[in-house]
Every structure is written in C-alpha cells, then in structure tokens.
C-alpha cells in the first residue's frame, strides 16, 4: 500500500515535473514573453500545493521508508564503493607488486650486473696476475736453467782441470821419485850451468847490491 | 909485493868457508913453526907442518912465500877479508855429497862469471831428483827438475788431453 502510494506520488511528481519542464521549455522557443506570466502562476500554484501537502506526503512512515531506502541505497553505494575501493586497492596492490617486482628485478639485475662485472674484473685481474706470474716463473726457470747449466759446465771444467792437474802432479811425483838420486851430478853440470847462465845477471846484481 | 883484493885468486879447491878456515889454520901452524924455529934450542928441529894442496896452490897462484912473515901476514889478512866480505852462494843438491870435481867445476864457473872470490856453500835438498836450488843474499833460484816439470805441466796436460781425444775419438 505504502509502496503503491509512494509510486503514485513519485509518478505524479514526475509527471508534474515533466509537465512543468515542458511548459517552462516551450515559451523559450516560441512565445516566451506571452507564456511567462502563466507559467509563473502555475508554479506558484504547484508550490503552494506542495507546501500544503508536504506534511501529508512526507509523513513519518514515508520518511522512515525513505530513510530505510536511503540507508539501503547508502549501504549499497558504500558496498559498491567498498567493492570498487577493494578492486582499486587490489589493482593498486597488484600494480604496486608488479612495480616493486620490476624495480626489485631491475635493481637486482643492475646489482647482479655490477657484481658480475666485478667478478669478471677480478677474474681478469687474477688471470693477468697468473699470466704475469707464469711469465716471471718461466723467465726465472730459464735463468736458473742457464745458471745451472753454466755452473755445471764450470764445475765440469774445474774437475777436469783438477784431474789434469792432479794427474800431472802424480806423473811428476812418479817421475821424480823414479829418478830419485840416480842421475849423477856431473851429468847435471851442463844443465845447471845453463840455468845459472840464464840467471847470471840477476845473481850478479844481487851479489853486487845485496847486503 | 902488495896485492889488491881484485888480484887475489882463490884456487878451485877452496870452495867454501870451511876451506878458508882450514887455510887459516895452516897459516897459523906455519907461523907457530917459524916462532918455534926462531926460539928452538940447539939440536932440536921443530917439525915443519905439512901444507895442503890448496894452500900450495894459493901461494903459488898469488906468488907468496910462506917463509916470509910479511907474505903470511898479508895472506892471512886477505883470507880474513875474503871470509868477511866475499859473496857466498848457497847451492842445494839432491845428493848429500857432491864430488870434488863437480864442485870445482862449479866454483870455477862461478868465479869466472859471477865473482872472482865467490864462495860456495853446499846443502842437501832431497826430492829435487835433479838440478839444484841456488840462494843468494836476497834471491832464490829453483833449477830443479821438479820445478822444470811444474813449469812444463801444461805441456803434460795438453798431451794428456790429446791422448784422451785420440783414445776417445
């Protein structure tokens, strides 16, 4: 009942409003100056009627109904807005997550790239150092090899010389021992005199200038 | 008859200071004989000391008369001068006792070539095998066979190397 009354009222109001709008709109196009006083009069009537019936139309039930409907509508709007807000929030969260993922991924990629570059640089440095070390070791090995070879050659020559000297000493000793005092001094006289003749000048000088 | 030191000649038999000492003793014996003869009693004739061949040669070479006091004194003075001032050369041999002939030949050469009054002192140096070592006041000469071998050691080493090359090749 109430709902039918309400619909009736709303329909009447709507109709009235439509008629009023139509009436108001018509004079604008054609006979605006002539219709204007009549419209004002009708409006005045409507206003008076509305003021007169307002208390009758908008009673407590109707107001409660409107309040309920408004509450429901408000709740609906709140719910929709909440849903929209939730959707926006989810979307925003999703976008934020994506953004964060992208940023983090980008940052991580950059950091990994830097880290990888650092590792590559360190690796290159290590490789260069190893190459230099290997080169130095190779040079040192070659130098030591040459030195060792020279020392071996020198030692070999020294031992050969020592052997030859020792052999010469052995032969000398053997010959001297074998000769012993078997050679007569008279046979040595010519040899001794020849040596004295060679050193005669030095002997004379020493005798002349000596103490 | 005065002699200059350079005119004084030592016989080849007088080789070293020992021989000079022996000559001095012989001269002293002759002096004593002359003194004894001058103070002898009647009927006692002192024995004339026998002179060595070296002294005879010395007197003969230098034209002295041992019966004259002046000649003996001069001869003694010369012998003392030779003992104190004559150069001495040392020669060491491998054998202990070189023959007198060898030493005389050596001293003749030395007095002819080095100094007319030079004296020779002989030593022993075993291990020389042959040759000698001569030492003067300030110098040392090694004429030994060992030294000769040492000087020619390189020849022996070269021969050893050649032998090793020949035998190795």
Q: How far apart are CA B22 and CA B63, in angstroms?
A: 20
Mean pLDDT rounded to a whole number for chain A: 81
Is the CB of residue B121 less than 8 Å from the CB of residue B16?
yes
Record the tokens describing residue A137, joined without a space: 């070791």
Of A179, A186, A173, A210, the C-alpha closest to B90 is A210
* CB < 8 Å to A181, chain B: 94-95, 126, 129
Q: How far apart are CA B14 and CA B59, in angstroms?
A: 12
Q: What is the pLDDT of residues B108-162, one digit of tens each?
A: 998 888 888 888 888 888 777 788 888 888 888 888 887 887 788 778 777 777 7
Secondary structure class of A37 (helix, strand, coil): helix
Is the CB of residue B92 less than 8 Å from the CB of residue B133?
yes
Q: How far apart are the first and last CA of chain B?
A: 80
Of B85, B79, B98, B71, the C-alpha closest to B22 is B79
pLDDT on residue A1: 45
Most confident of A3-17, A146-160, A193-207, B36-50: A146-160
Task: Name which of B109, B130, B153 is nearest A179 (Cβ-Cβ).
Answer: B130
Q: Where are the domains of chain B?
A: 1-84, 87-169
Q: Give the closest-approach CA distance of B15 to chain A in angstroms.
A: 16
Record the tokens describing residue B5, joined without a space: 């030191």
Q: Do B160 and A164 touch (CB under 8 A)?
A: yes
**Chain A residue closest in CA terms to B115:** A204
pTM, full prediction: 0.52
How does residue A140 score in pLDDT terms, banded at 50, 70 and 90?
very high
Q: How far apart are CA A97 and CA A90, in angstroms?
A: 10
Q: Where are the domains of chain A?
A: 2-110
A203 touches chain B (CB under 8 A): yes
Record the tokens describing residue A60, joined without a space: 């407590």
Q: What is the pLDDT of residues B52-74, one digit of tens each?
A: 888 888 888 888 888 788 888 88
Record the tokens describing residue A136, joined without a space: 């130095």
Q: How far apart are CA A144 and CA A133, in angstroms?
A: 16
* CB < 8 Å to A180, chain B: 94, 129
Record the tokens describing residue B134, joined without a space: 């001569």
Task: Name which of A189, A199, A202 is nearest B102 (Cβ-Cβ).
Answer: A189
A198 touches chain B (CB under 8 A): no
Q: How far apart are CA A210 and CA A202, in angstroms?
A: 11
> In chain B, which among 64-123 make CB contacts under 8 A with chain A?
87, 89, 93-95, 98-99, 101-102, 105-106, 109-110, 113-115, 118
Q: How far apart are CA A191 and CA A197, in angstroms?
A: 10
């Amino acid at each position: 009942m109430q709902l039918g009354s309400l619909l009736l009222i709303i329909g009447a109001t709507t109709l009235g409003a439509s008629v009023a709008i139509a009436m108001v709109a018509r004079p604008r196009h054609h006979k605006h100056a002539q219709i204007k006083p009549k419209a004002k009069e009708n409006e005045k009537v409507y206003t008076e009627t509305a003021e007169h019936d307002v208390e009758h139309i908008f009673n407590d039930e109707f107001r409660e109904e409107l309040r309920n409907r408004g509450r429901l509508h408000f709740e609906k709007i709140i719910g929709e807005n909440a849903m929209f807000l939730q959707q926006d929030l989810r979307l925003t969260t999703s976008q934020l997550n994506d953004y964060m993922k992208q940023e983090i991924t980008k940052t991580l990629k950059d950091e990994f790239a830097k880290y990888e570059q650092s590792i590559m640089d360190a690796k290159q440095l290590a490789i260069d150092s190893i190459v230099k070390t290997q080169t130095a070791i190779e040079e040192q090995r070659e130098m030591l090899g040459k030195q060792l070879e020279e020392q071996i050659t020198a030692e070999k020559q020294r031992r050969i010389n020592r052997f030859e000297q020792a052999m010469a000493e052995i032969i000398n000793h053997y010959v001297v021992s074998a000769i012993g005092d078997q050679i007569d001094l008279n046979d040595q006289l010519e040899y001794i005199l020849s040596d004295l003749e060679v050193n005669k000048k030095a002997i004379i000088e020493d005798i002349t200038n000596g103490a | 008859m005065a002699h200059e030191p350079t005119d004084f000649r030592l016989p080849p038999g007088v080789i070293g200071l020992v021989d000079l000492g022996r000559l001095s003793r012989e001269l002293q014996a002759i002096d004593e004989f002359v003194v004894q003869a001058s103070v002898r009693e009647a009927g006692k004739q002192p024995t004339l000391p026998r002179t060595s061949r070296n002294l005879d040669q010395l007197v003969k070479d230098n034209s002295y008369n041992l019966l004259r006091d002046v000649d003996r004194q001069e001869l003694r003075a010369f012998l003392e001068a030779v003992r104190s001032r004559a150069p001495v050369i040392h020669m060491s041999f491998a054998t202990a006792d070189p023959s007198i002939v060898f030493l005389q030949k050596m001293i003749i050469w030395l007095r002819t070539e080095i100094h007319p009054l030079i004296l020779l002192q002989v030593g022993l140096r075993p291990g020389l095998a042959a040759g000698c070592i001569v030492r003067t006041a300030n110098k040392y000469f090694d004429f030994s066979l060992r030294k000769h071998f040492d000087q020619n050691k390189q020849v022996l080493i070269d021969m050893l190397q050649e032998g090793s090359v020949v035998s190795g090749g």
